[in-house]
């Protein structure tokens, strides 16, 4: 990635950081080359007063087409897990570490590719702006890309998921499995076991958010 050609997202941020202005400005982002193949940027969605922010990796094919985060198969699984954890999707804020879809084409299909590290770094100002606007009590990072974007490349979700981490971006940070990874599990038993871990971690996030709400009363 050539720095001069792709300067990172910071220069594309609006002067005033609000959800509507950020959502509008992100469509003009040329901070990394991923915008070249994507239909549009997909920004985060959720209420301004959301206590829980969920951060995934990047939009998928359906998200790229529809312009909303987590609306494909992984999103449907996440919705089910949120409901089982006692969280309404409309009460949480959901976003991704990278705002444009990175893929490879095979025949008629666009297949997900993990975004390169320079693109994750280039896109970080959008995520930082979302965190600054919302100031969530709990951040849940879904999968390795989101976790390592915040916690560093040495962090391993498989080793440290489900732990409450104190971090500068939020009073509580929890890493868990990405729904798409659960869908890729090799058999139904493995998928169910992984899904149970996701629900457990979301329940922990809900518990921490509820405790934080009690302290502010």
pLDDT tens, position by position, 158-181: 999 999 999 999 999 999 999 999
pLDDT in tens, 50-84: 999 999 999 999 999 999 999 999 999 999 999 99
Please state, in angstroms and rounded to a whole number, the distance separating the CA atoms of residues 6 and 197: 38
Residues forming beta bridges with residue 112, ordered by sequence position: 103
Residue 5 lies in a domain: no
Q: Give the pLDDT score at 212.
A: 81
Residue 42 lies in a domain: yes
Inform me whether the pLDDT recorded for 112 exceeds 60: yes
Query: Which of 25, 28, 46 has the alpha carbon at shortest distance from 38?
Result: 28
Residue 189 lies in a domain: yes
Inform me whether the pLDDT recorded for 98 exceeds 60: yes
Q: Give the pLDDT score at 1.
A: 45
Instruction: Tell me the pLDDT band of 2, cut-offs 50, 70 and 90.
Output: very low
Please state, in angstroms and rounded to a whole number, the distance separating the CA atoms of residues 64 and 101: 6
Phi/psi at 61 (5° precision): -60, -50
Domain with 128 in it: 10-211
Give the DSSP per-residue string, 133-155.
HH--SEEEEESHHHHHHHH-TT-
How many separate domains does the chain show?
Answer: 1
- Average pLDDT score over the chain: 94
Residue 3 lies in a domain: no
Residues 6+ apart with CB under 8 A from 32: 1, 6, 8, 9, 100, 118, 119, 122, 123
Average pLDDT over residues 181-197: 97
Residue 4 lies in a domain: no
In CATH, what number is assigned to the domain containing residue 112?
A: 3.40.470.10
Q: For the whole model, what pTM was predicted?
A: 0.94
Instruction: Tell me the pLDDT band of 87, cut-offs 50, 70 and 90.
Output: very high
Give the percent of the chain with pLDDT over 90.
Answer: 90
């Amino acid at each position: 990635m050539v720095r001069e050609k792709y300067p990172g997202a910071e220069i594309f941020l609006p002067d005033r950081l609000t959800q509507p202005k950020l959502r509008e400005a992100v469509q003009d982002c040329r901070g990394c080359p991923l915008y070249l193949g994507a239909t549009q940027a997909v920004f985060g969605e959720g209420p301004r007063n959301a206590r829980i922010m969920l951060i995934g990796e990047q939009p998928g094919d359906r998200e790229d087409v529809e312009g909303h985060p987590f609306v494909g198969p992984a999103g449907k699984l996440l919705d089910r897990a949120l409901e089982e954890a006692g969280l309404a999707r409309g009460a949480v804020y959901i976003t991704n570490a990278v705002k444009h879809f990175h893929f490879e084409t095979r025949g008629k299909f666009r297949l997900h590719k993990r975004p390169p590290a320079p693109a994750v770094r280039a896109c970080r100002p959008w995520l930082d702006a979302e965190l600054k606007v919302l100031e969530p009590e709990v951040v849940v990072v879904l999968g390795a890309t989101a976790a390592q974007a915040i916690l560093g490349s040495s962090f391993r979700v498989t080793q440290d998921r489900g732990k409450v981490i104190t971090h500068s971006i939020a009073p509580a940070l929890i890493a868990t499995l990405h729904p798409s990874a659960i869908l890729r599990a090799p058999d139904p038993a493995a998928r169910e076991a992984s899904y149970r871990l996701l629900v457990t971690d979301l329940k922990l996030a809900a518990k921490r958010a509820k405790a934080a709400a009690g302290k502010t009363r």
